[in-house]
Structure 1
Amino acid sequence: MANSLDRAATADDVKRINALLPVKAKIFRITQETPDVKLFSISTLDGHMPFPVSPGQLVMLSVFGMGEAIFAASAGENCLEVAVKRVGTLTEALHEAEVGQTMGIRGPYGNGFSLDICQGKNLLFIAGGIGLAPIRSLIKHVLNHRKDFGHLQLIGGFRSPKDLVFKRELTEIWPASEDFDVTITVDKAGEDWQGHVGYVPDLVKKLKPQSDETACILCGPPVMLKNTFNVLEELAFSPENILTTLEMRMKCGIGQCGRCNIGSCYVCLDGPVFSLAQLRALPDEY
């Protein structure tokens, strides 16, 4: 019997190898979103988008000599946009990076948001903190294909007014867009804050968004998700039309490390986007 190491590489082998091989890229713009969140615009060394991404898909960023981590990505002009919250060693290294610095990027990973479920429906976006980043990628797509979707509503929750990520989009661009309602709440307000104060599930219950012909897309901390799921079901949202992304569980991105499994499901291969109906069929580990 021939040794498996002697056989010719198949297309699947090449794909698997390439999935682990970062593309060398550079930072050409850095935007300070909040005191601990920066938005990185990343291109190839010759100024092009490293690869196309669909809304909700993920990329792996690596700082040479430091390691890598997975992030939600949005398509920008000749670049990919990645929001990074400073929470550990690798993200600290990214926050210390400067324009022009090279890094590794690989991907895209995951299934992304189902446009089949969203198309033709009203859309309710619910985001908590940095959870707005993957939702932003879908919002950008929707606004670029506005006639394919109905009424838009965003409910966003943040710790404080200074923690609003994508503040210009939240307060200026999106509210000025066609048929797009934006409501923001904060956990702790300063003297100058004129908006809502409180937690996202409570605000959803207060606003009572309409469930008819509406798809809901959520991303945020697990406790916010679980409490908001309950509110949405009380408001008669169909579990099949409630989508969330679990990218925080992903590690390798290609189903090899086993770190992201929920029961028999691998978040990186079967997700990271799941409907609530799909999650209800899995062990309660998300």
Structure 2
Amino acid sequence: MSESLIPKLGVVTDIRKDTPDVKTFRVVSPEGTKVFEHTPGQCAMISIPGVGEAMFSITSSPTNTEFMEFSVKKCGSLTEWLHQMEVGQQLTVRGPYGNGFPVDTTFKGQDLLFIAGGIGLAPLRSVINYVRDNRNDYGHVDIVYGARGMDDLVDYEEIIDEWCNDCGIDVHLTIDSEQEGWDGHVGFVPNYVKELNFDVNKTVIICGPPIMIKFTLAGLQELGFNKTQVYTTMELKMKCGIGKCGRCNIGNKYVCNDGPVFRCDELDELPNEY
């Protein structure tokens, strides 16, 4: 039996409230070590016995050797339970599942453009921090991130205190509409990407609501980007994680086995189900 199928006990050691409906949970083994290793972009199944289980992105970088983190948006019965948890309580974790982003191959030596909307930053945080921890392997990094309002920006303190102060990294934040106390850019992410008018010699990593991805991808193509330069993740389609339940089947692909990371031109070969 594959090791990734066996649930492992995890202890919640820290809970951070990122937004009104998103919390980030820090998890270790009962021995106080990392539960298992992963690559940026992979996911894990979190379960509360008797309540349910669901797939979540691992939002901490593999370069973090002490713990794993998961950013969870409250949107159902399991996430409701998770949001009621306290430090010291236990859950089970199994994984990792899926393929990760090609950080050690395709991305190496490239200028990178990360584009995220809302909770879509969570799956990209692992990749961004991996790149930050291996800074000499990559070129210039741009991060475009937007949400409905300033209170909905996930990992805001980390972005302002760390990412914005890193050499060779430019962060571009935006919110959907004017808000008191916000003096940054106002507007939707797809339009902001076009306004910024990036050089096309970049590899793009994008995650967010499907409608945001659709219009952002169209905007990137208007700027001259090719779909072969753009990567996204589709973990929302996964359920069992092992290609058995069929929920993530799209055409001849299983998102859990063949994804969740896909290059956007690969998605053109699949039926339009997402």
- TM range, normalised to the smaller chain? over 0.9
SS of structure 1 residue aligned to 2:95: strand
Q: CA deviation at 1:77?
A: 4.3
Question: What amino acid is the match of 2:55?
Answer: I
1:252 to 222, 228, 240: 240
- Asked if 1:177 is matched to 2:162, the reply is no
1:21 corresponds to: 6
Q: Describe the superposition over 1:168-201 as per-residue Cα deviations: whole angstroms up to 9, x where unpaired.
A: 1222211110111101111133211101111110
- Which residue is 1:55 aligned to? 40
Kindly, what percent of the aligned residue pairs are identical?
47
Q: Which contiguous aligned blocks of 4+ residues in structure 1 show a shift greater than 3 angstroms?
A: none
Q: Which runs of 5+ in 2 are unaligned?
A: none
SS in 1 for 2:273: coil
CA distance in 1: counterparts of 2:6 and 2:154, whole angstroms: 31
Pairing of 1:214-225 with structure 2 (within 5 A): 214-225=202-213
In structure 2, the partner of 1:130 is 119
Secondary structure in structure 2 of the residue aligned to 1:268: helix
- In the superposition, the TM-score normalised over structure 2's length comes to 0.96
Matched, 1:194 2:183: yes
d(CA) in 2 for partners of 1:19 and 1:143? 28
Per the TM alignment, residue 238 of structure 1 is displaced from its structure 2 partner at its CA by 2.3
Equivalent residue in structure 1 for 2:19, among 29, 34, 46: 34
Report if aligned partners of 1:161, 1:189 keep a CA contact under 8 Å in 2. Answer: no
* Residue 114 (structure 1) shift: 1.1
Taking structure 1 as the reference length, what is the TM-score of the superposition?
Answer: 0.92
Matched residue of 1:132: which SS?
helix
- State the partner residue of 2:218: 230
Counterpart Cα distance in 1 of 2:4 and 2:40: 19
The question of whether the paired residues in 2 share the 8 Å contact of 1:201 and 1:227 is answered with: yes
Amino acid corresponding to residue 90 of structure 1 in structure 2: L
The answer for the alignment partner of 1:92 in structure 2 is: 80
Q: Note the aligned Cα RMSD (angstroms).
A: 1.0
Distance 1:283 1:187 in 2: 31
1:259 is paired with a residue whose SS is coil
Equivalent position SS for 1:178:
coil
What are the equivalent positions in structure 2 for 1:139-154 lying under 5 Å apart? 139-154=128-143
Matched, 1:64 2:52: no
Q: Contact between 1:19 and 1:107, CA under 8 Å: does it hold in 2? A: yes
